[in-house]
A and B are shown apart, each in its own frame.
Chain A
């Protein structure tokens, strides 16, 4: 199984999606999404609510199951094979809008749990890594606290550290700053910018235009379950081609 040496297998396109369809009951949520993400690329996904952008990134680590089409992550095809799903989830970290930290565990235990149980890393080593990551997201002093004792921005940074502890090759961000107070947003975006500069492959669903312009290599706009426009940020924000993108931008940029 590809574990630890996948970077050597020469896969340049780390995520390949071909004609991905997804239905919730009779609602057609994804209607033929095809795109390719290169290693170390930063992709920002925009779009009105209900356009399928969250659903799409959730299909990449199989939190949602796609019903038609093909998704290949780091050379592994997503199918119902449990081993493939587990392998992909080890490759892909995810950060949620609502943080989803484990409230009954301390910050440190939140971070060390998966490395210890899934990668079988000894506790001492896992804790060292955890402290290093907390250092990196700027809150090492919170290690022994419980999530509820932290501010929203701190919780989201713990969530990023928790995902990074599994040493993923890809990070998915599902509206990471949407549940935060304005003064907390910058702390989280700073961490994400630093992560982007370190060469991580990132897919980010966000409404933060400034961040998108600064960090993204490419912007994908979703509308009604389809990709409405796909372009580098400067092109997309300054000179959008589709009418749908123009309308959307006029709404979010005021």
Chain B
């Protein structure tokens, strides 16, 4: 190759073969004969597997099992004849979804970041798009589709509220979340004697709705509880410290399945006999505590990783311990453990399928019990479980994506 003379000291672009698409392929896929061979073999294998899958998915597979199950996957037996006579309970989960969407809208107005906007709009449009699916909505009536489509106006209503009313302050957001959760709970559970709110015992709640309810409750509550446990474990007060260690070690040391069993037998003992604590709430409490124990250890790890100088600087400025935690150490610790926190959230969401152990039918066990009682679909259980896996994956990938974006946004000025 002819070498052209260069002027000493001139700023030159890098040699062509090291950049651009060709350069990338050379460097990463064919950097040596053995690497080239590996690339070709792996690519061939991948294409072959992909071909097998496509051939199955669009050829032999029969996806009709999914529309057959339809809304049952989403709501379980909630709207079935035996649970809800005259089948008009369907609007209640729908209305709950609308409340959640409105809340997302408020968050969008308050946070004013593209990320929150993306999450709010995506969720609203996905919910609305469900109205277009060929699911057997006919038996549920037209109003169901309308309620689904209403998620889009709901999110914009939330944004309007967030911008034009004082609902968006941190304190109000917490209050609204709390009130919203209670409202949704009573909306779903129903109230004896109130027309339109025919009581639906929580053991009949099911499907994806159950997974989402348990996960939403767990995700919201386990972070603050985890923070308190982590701080408690680092406390100088021996009693507080011992209590927190005991709590954390108990909930981490016992399998979740055992805890779920105990929730049905032992937890009621802690409450008065007539205390209205139903199966779902009990399961939710146990899942939250389990998750909070892990969360606490993640956060404690984040706190311990901080340089001692941070606390010293805050103390030297005269900041009292409480302010030092709130403004200096905790924000940094939380930021450092965002990946671990989201990992815990994903794990929590997947663990909600374990409630089958106490007889509740979440989306996964809704599917398996359907296959069990409708043997003609047995050959197509693969399609059904693949679909359910996809549903979980979409949610978890969503959380994972949000987490990466949050990490990047918070990375400003890091070290």
Q: A103-B332, A104-B335, A117-B323 are in contact. Are A89 and B413 (CB under 8 A)?
A: no
The contact sample of 16 A-B pairs, CB cut-off 8 A, is A63-B315, A86-B320, A96-B313, A98-B307, A102-B314, A102-B328, A102-B332, A103-B413, A103-B415, A104-B410, A113-B317, A117-B323, A118-B318, A147-B413, A159-B313, A163-B316
Per the bound structure, the CA–CA distance linking A94 and B323 in Å amounts to: 18
Q: A63-B316, A147-B413, A149-B413 are in contact. Are A100 and B310 (CB under 8 A)?
A: yes
Q: What is the CB-to-nearest-CB distance from A180 to chain B, in angstroms, rounded to a whole number?
A: 16
B-contact 0/1 string along A141-173, CB 8 Å cutoff = 000011111000000000100110010000000
A61 close to B (CB within 8 Å): yes
B-contact 0/1 string along A65-95, CB 8 Å cutoff = 0000000000000000000001001101110
Per the bound structure, the CA–CA distance linking A86 and B327 in Å amounts to: 18
Asked whether B316 lies within 8 Å of A145 as measured between CB atoms, the reply is no
Q: Which of A111-130 contact B (CB under 8 A)?
A: 113-114, 117-118
B402 close to A (CB within 8 Å): no
A-contact 0/1 string along B283-316, CB 8 Å cutoff = 0000000000000000000000001011011111
Residues of B with C-beta under 8 A to A118:
317-320, 323
B414 close to A (CB within 8 Å): yes
Residues of A with C-beta under 8 A to B323:
117-118
Which 10 pairs, one residue from A and one from B, show the smallest C-beta to C-beta distance?
A146-B413, A100-B309, A100-B313, A89-B318, A114-B317, A94-B316, A90-B318, A148-B413, A118-B318, A117-B323
Q: A96-B313, A148-B413, A148-B414 are in contact. Are A114 and B319 (CB under 8 A)?
A: yes
* Interface residue SS majority, chain B: helix
| A residues with CB within 8 A of B | 61, 63, 86, 89-90, 92-94, 96, 98, 100-104, 106, 113-114, 117-118, 145-149, 159, 162-163, 166
Asked whether A166 lies within 8 Å of B317 as measured between CB atoms, the reply is yes
B331 close to A (CB within 8 Å): yes
Per the bound structure, the CA–CA distance linking A103 and B333 in Å amounts to: 12
A-contact 0/1 string along B391-415, CB 8 Å cutoff = 0000000000000000000101111
| B residues with CB within 8 A of A | 307, 309-310, 312-320, 323, 327-328, 331-332, 335, 410, 412-415
Q: What is the CB-to-nearest-CB distance from B129 to chain A, in angstroms, rounded to a whole number?
A: 39
Q: What is the CB-to-nearest-CB distance from B319 to chain A, in angstroms, rounded to a whole number?
A: 6
Per the bound structure, the CA–CA distance linking A193 and B280 in Å amounts to: 68
Per the bound structure, the CA–CA distance linking A98 and B310 in Å amounts to: 10
Q: What is the CB-to-nearest-CB distance from A150 to chain B, in angstroms, rounded to a whole number?
A: 9
Q: What is the CB-to-nearest-CB distance from A202 to chain B, in angstroms, rounded to a whole number?
A: 15
Residues of B with C-beta under 8 A to A93:
316-317
Asked whether A86 lies within 8 Å of B307 as measured between CB atoms, the reply is no
The contact of A163 among B317, B319, B415, by CB within 8 Å, is: B317
Residues of B with C-beta under 8 A to A149:
413
Residues of A with C-beta under 8 A to B320:
86, 118
Most buried by B among A61, A101, A104: A104
The contact of A117 among B310, B327, B414, by CB within 8 Å, is: B327
Total cross-chain contacts (CB, 8 A): 72
The contact of B319 among A98, A117, A148, A159, by CB within 8 Å, is: A117
Asked whether A63 lies within 8 Å of B312 as measured between CB atoms, the reply is yes
Per the bound structure, the CA–CA distance linking A90 and B320 in Å amounts to: 11
Give 5 A-B pairs besides A103-B332, A118-B317 with Cβ atoms closer than 8 angstroms.
Answer: A61-B316, A63-B315, A102-B310, A148-B415, A159-B313
Which residue of B has the minimal Cβ distance to A106? B413
Per the bound structure, the CA–CA distance linking A169 and B196 in Å amounts to: 70
Q: What is the CB-to-nearest-CB distance from B312 to chain A, in angstroms, rounded to a whole number?
A: 6
Asked whether B317 lies within 8 Å of A89 as measured between CB atoms, the reply is yes
Most buried by A among B316, B327, B413, B414: B316
Residues of B with C-beta under 8 A to A61:
316
Per the bound structure, the CA–CA distance linking A93 and B323 in Å amounts to: 18
Which residue of A has the minimal Cβ distance to B412? A146
Residues of A with C-beta under 8 A to B309:
96, 98, 100
Per the bound structure, the CA–CA distance linking A61 and B318 in Å amounts to: 9
Residues of B with C-beta under 8 A to A100:
307, 309-310, 312-313
Residues of A with C-beta under 8 A to B328:
102
Residues of B with C-beta under 8 A to A113:
317, 319, 327
Residues of A with C-beta under 8 A to B335:
104
Q: What is the CB-to-nearest-CB distance from A155 to chain B, in angstroms, rounded to a whole number?
A: 11
Per the bound structure, the CA–CA distance linking A90 and B412 in Å amounts to: 30
Asked whether B413 lies within 8 Å of A114 as measured between CB atoms, the reply is no
Asked whether A104 lies within 8 Å of B332 as measured between CB atoms, the reply is yes
Which residue of B has the minimal Cβ distance to A146? B413
Asked whether B318 lies within 8 Å of A86 as measured between CB atoms, the reply is yes
Residues of A with C-beta under 8 A to B307:
98, 100
Residues of A with C-beta under 8 A to B414:
103, 148
The contact of B316 among A89, A101, A102, A147, by CB within 8 Å, is: A89
Q: What is the CB-to-nearest-CB distance from A57 to chain B, in angstroms, rounded to a whole number?
A: 11
Per the bound structure, the CA–CA distance linking A92 and B320 in Å amounts to: 15
Q: What is the CB-to-nearest-CB distance from B90 to chain A, in angstroms, rounded to a whole number?
A: 46
The contact of A114 among B312, B318, B332, by CB within 8 Å, is: B318
Which residue of A has the minimal Cβ distance to B331? A104
Per the bound structure, the CA–CA distance linking A61 and B317 in Å amounts to: 10
Residues of A with C-beta under 8 A to B315:
63, 89
Q: What is the CB-to-nearest-CB distance from B311 to chain A, in angstroms, rounded to a whole number?
A: 9
Per the bound structure, the CA–CA distance linking A55 and B180 in Å amounts to: 54
Residues of B with C-beta under 8 A to A96:
309, 312-313, 316
Asked whether B413 lies within 8 Å of A162 as measured between CB atoms, the reply is no
Residues of B with C-beta under 8 A to A101:
313
Residues of B with C-beta under 8 A to A90:
318
Q: What is the CB-to-nearest-CB distance from A41 to chain B, in angstroms, rounded to a whole number?
A: 20
Residues of A with C-beta under 8 A to B327:
113, 117
Most buried by A among B327, B413, B414: B413
Q: What is the CB-to-nearest-CB distance from A210 to chain B, in angstroms, rounded to a whole number?
A: 27
Per the bound structure, the CA–CA distance linking A147 and B319 in Å amounts to: 20
Asked whether A104 lies within 8 Å of B413 as measured between CB atoms, the reply is yes
Per the bound structure, the CA–CA distance linking A92 and B414 in Å amounts to: 29
Asked whether A145 lies within 8 Å of B317 as measured between CB atoms, the reply is no
Residues of A with C-beta under 8 A to B313:
94, 96, 100-102, 159
